[in-house]
């Protein structure tokens, strides 16, 4: 089917940084609808994140692919991506400002039901989606696709409000078993309603068709997995249907 979504660049500031996120919606639908933040891989706001936003628009959401680095920046290679990502976590409060600003921008959009907002992300974006929950952003749900699970902020019981879906590659060499065990303990201690789904044989980056090529180019254990991509997308759709009803 042809892409019927409408999109535009959404410019705003947070913590003194100019941000240029990408918002998509279906103009044929009427009335307010849920909003979903799409947090990108460590490459930054690229065509993959924008495509996912348009696909979500086709499902009936207003989707905001979030600029996390500023000026819509996209890394040229793994070295630059690592440097940019590291910069985010040298100032965790400023990172929180950027994420909250994206939430606020989406919440005030005229087509968005401000009581039904979720966040989802890929790799780094999965970690950032979880970070939003940990710092108390009032989301309805969080979905992480092949994301890091470690915490840059220690939430207290009652802080973490959204339900969670973790879409994890069983063969992901970048998310150690120890991190997975610690995550389960954290979610249970916080009383979070969460699901953890492992896709057999799937490696890090399994949802991105460019992952295998990027992995070879940058000597990283990345690989696309068509079945895991398809299955995790269906799991995500079921999750949003539940948390937004």
pLDDT per position as a tens digit, 211-228: 999 999 999 999 999 999
Is the separation of the CB atoms in 10 and 20 below 8 Å?
yes
Confidence bin at 16 (pLDDT 50/70/90): confident
CATH number of the domain within which 26 lies = 3.40.50.1820
Q: In this structure, is residue 221 part of a structural domain?
A: yes
From the centroid of its chain, how far is CA 42? 11
* pLDDT value at residue 3: 72
Q: In this structure, is residue 19 part of a structural domain?
A: yes
62-65/194-199 β-pairing: unpaired
Domain, as residue range, for 182 = 6-243
* pLDDT value at residue 2: 57
Confidence check: pLDDT of 161 > 70: yes
Neighbour count for residue 28 (Cβ, 10 Å):
8
Q: Which residue has the tokens 């940084």?
A: 17
For the chain, how long is the longest CA-to-CA vector?
A: 47
Q: In this structure, is residue 209 part of a structural domain?
A: yes
Which among 142, 106, 115 has a CA at the least distance from the CA of 127?
A: 142
User: Pick the residue with more confidence: 9 or 15?
Assistant: 9
pLDDT per position as a tens digit, 17-49: 899 999 999 999 999 999 999 999 999 999 999
Q: In this structure, is residue 36 part of a structural domain?
A: yes
Rounded distance between C-alpha atoms, residue 124 and residue 104, angstroms: 21
Length reported for the chain = 245
Neighbour count for residue 180 (Cβ, 10 Å):
16
* pLDDT value at residue 4: 74
pLDDT per position as a tens digit, 172-210: 999 999 999 999 999 999 999 999 999 999 999 999 999
pLDDT per position as a tens digit, 102-156: 999 999 999 999 999 999 999 999 999 999 999 999 999 999 999 999 999 999 9
* pLDDT value at residue 5: 87
Whole-model pTM: value is: 0.96
Domain count across the chain: 1
Q: In this structure, is residue 115 part of a structural domain?
A: yes
Q: In this structure, is residue 1 part of a structural domain?
A: no
Which among 147, 153, 152, 183 has a CA at the least distance from the CA of 168?
A: 147
* pLDDT value at residue 50: 97
Q: In this structure, is residue 117 part of a structural domain?
A: yes
Q: In this structure, is residue 151 part of a structural domain?
A: yes
Question: In sequence order, which residues have a C-beta less than 8 Å from that of residue 178 and are 6 or more positions away?
Answer: none
């Amino acid at each position: 089917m042809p892409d019927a979504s409408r999109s535009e660049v959404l410019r705003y500031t947070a913590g003194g940084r100019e941000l240029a996120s990408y918002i998509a919606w279906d103009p044929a639908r009427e009335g307010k609808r849920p909003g979903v933040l799409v947090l990108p891989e460590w490459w930054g706001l690229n065509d993959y994140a924008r495509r996912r936003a348009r696909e979500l628009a086709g499902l009936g959401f207003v989707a905001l692919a979030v600029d996390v680095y500023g000026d819509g920046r996209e890394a040229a290679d793994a070295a630059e991506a690592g440097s940019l990502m590291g910069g985010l976590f040298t100032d965790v409060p400023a990172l929180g400002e950027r994420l909250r600003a994206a939430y606020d921008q989406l919440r005030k959009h005229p087509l968005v039901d401000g009581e039904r907002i979720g966040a989802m992300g890929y790799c780094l974006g999965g970690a950032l989606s979880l970070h939003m929950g940990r710092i108390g952003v009032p989301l309805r749900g969080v979905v992480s696709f092949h994301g890091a699970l470690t915490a840059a902020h220690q939430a207290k019981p009652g802080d973490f409000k959204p339900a969670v879906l973790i879409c994890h590659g069983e063969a992901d060499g970048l998310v150690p078993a120890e991190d997975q065990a610690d995550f389960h303990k954290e979610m249970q201690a916080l009383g979070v309603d969460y699901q953890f789904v492992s896709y057999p044989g799937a490696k890090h980056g399994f949802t991105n068709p460019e992952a295998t090529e990027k992995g070879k180019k940058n000597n990283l254990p990345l690989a696309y997995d068509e079945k895991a991509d398809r299955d995790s997308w269906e799991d995500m759709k079921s999750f949003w249907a539940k948390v937004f009803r």
